[in-house]
């Protein structure tokens, strides 16, 4: 940037400008530098399939970059005419481990689920196998619901939309915040707190994915998910954040294990349609 400035501004000490003007110019250069950084965008470096725990369920890994920042997205990608989502509740809250719980349930892959209280009581709506384990709650954090009906069709709805439509979900989790709507990042997402993220995502033609992203902000997670062909062939139209941070985990039989640090209450699994 300096080479584009007049010589007197590149070497202010040799000029006759007042010190106060030098300070203003220095502040301006700093602002321009931060503005350039703010304009930086996430881009995809590489995308590859790292395996399939079973036919039609692919584990896709994408490397992304934004300036000096990097992120790795791992996604369980499938169509809901072959697979659907199931909420697997922990048989012993506080002690269950993602991999062990999913193996015990006989499912091929999944991630951690929704929020919970310190005593492991679920926070927000939780429905498992047509049984309501915890009722819907109204809270700013719980802005969306991801669910699957008895036909296997997966939907992500705003919590207010869920309350008005009252869909007959066989399995569902209320969580948040919403990350994507109509393919675009939701405005107002936190850009400061960096943590591991997990999310549920849906696209057109019954496409769906469960997602794990290495440490990024919620705003970054939304921007990454909005990248064209982020899953190799498509990008989601809707995405809902799940319980992230130390709760984040992903497992796919014989393909990948990204274990959670903190024990959680429930899990969101990918299962074959009956």
pLDDT in tens, 65-92: 999 999 999 999 999 999 999 999 986 7
Q: What is the pLDDT at residue 23? A: 56
> Which H, E and C letters describe 130-152, residue by residue?
CEEEECCCCCCCCCEEEEEECCC
Backbone angles phi, psi at 218, to 5 degrees: -60, -40
Q: How far apart are CA 195 and CA 248, in angstroms?
A: 9
Bond from prior residue into 177 cis (ω within 30 degrees of 0)? yes
Q: How far apart are CA 52 and CA 142, in angstroms?
A: 32
Q: What's the pTM?
A: 0.85
Q: What is the pLDDT at residue 19? A: 56
The structural domains of the chain, with segments of one domain joined by +, span: 2-38, 43-272
Q: What is the pLDDT at residue 96? A: 85
Q: What is the pLDDT at residue 18? A: 58
Q: What is the pLDDT at residue 187? A: 97
Q: What is the pLDDT at residue 274? A: 82
Closest by CA to 111, choosing from 28, 209, 16, 206, is 209
The two tokens of residue 105 are: 């349930």
pLDDT in tens, 190-232: 999 999 999 999 999 999 999 999 999 999 999 999 999 999 9
Q: What is the pLDDT at residue 20? A: 56
Contact criterion met (CB below 8 Å) for 227 and 220: no
Q: Which residue has the tokens 């005419």?
A: 81
Residues of the chain with pLDDT under 50: 1-15, 17, 21, 24-25, 28-38
């Amino acid at each position: 940037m300096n080479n584009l400035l007049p010589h007197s501004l590149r070497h202010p000490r040799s000029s006759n400008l007042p010190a106060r003007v030098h300070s203003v110019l220095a502040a301006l250069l700093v602002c321009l530098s931060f503005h350039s950084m703010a304009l930086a965008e996430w881009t995809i470096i590489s995308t590859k399939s790292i395996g399939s725990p079973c036919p039609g369920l692919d584990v896709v890994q994408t490397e992304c970059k934004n300036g000096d920042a990097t992120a790795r997205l791992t996604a369980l990608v499938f169509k809901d005419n072959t697979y659907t989502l199931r909420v697997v509740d922990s048989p012993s809250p506080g002690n269950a481990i993602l991999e062990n719980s999913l193996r015990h349930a006989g499912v091929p892959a999944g991630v951690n689920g929704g929020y919970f209280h310190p005593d492991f009581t679920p926070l927000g709506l939780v429905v498992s196998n047509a049984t309501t384990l915890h009722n819907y709650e109204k809270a700013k954090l719980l802005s969306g619901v991801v669910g699957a009906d008895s036909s296997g069709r997966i939907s992500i709805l705003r919590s207010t939309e869920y309350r008005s439509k009252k869909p007959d979900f066989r399995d569902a989790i209320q969580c948040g915040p919403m990350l994507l709507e109509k393919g675009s990042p939701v405005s107002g997402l936190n850009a400061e707190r960096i943590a591991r993220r997990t999310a549920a995502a849906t696209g057109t033609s019954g496409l769906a994915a469960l997602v794990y992203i290495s440490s990024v902000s919620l705003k970054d997670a939304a921007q990454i998910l909005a990248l064209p062909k982020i899953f190799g062939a498509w990008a989601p139209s809707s995405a809902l954040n799940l319980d992230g941070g130390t709760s984040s985990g992903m497992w796919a039989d014989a393909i990948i294990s990204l274990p959670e640090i903190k024990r959680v209450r429930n899990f969101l699994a990918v299962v074959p349609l009956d």
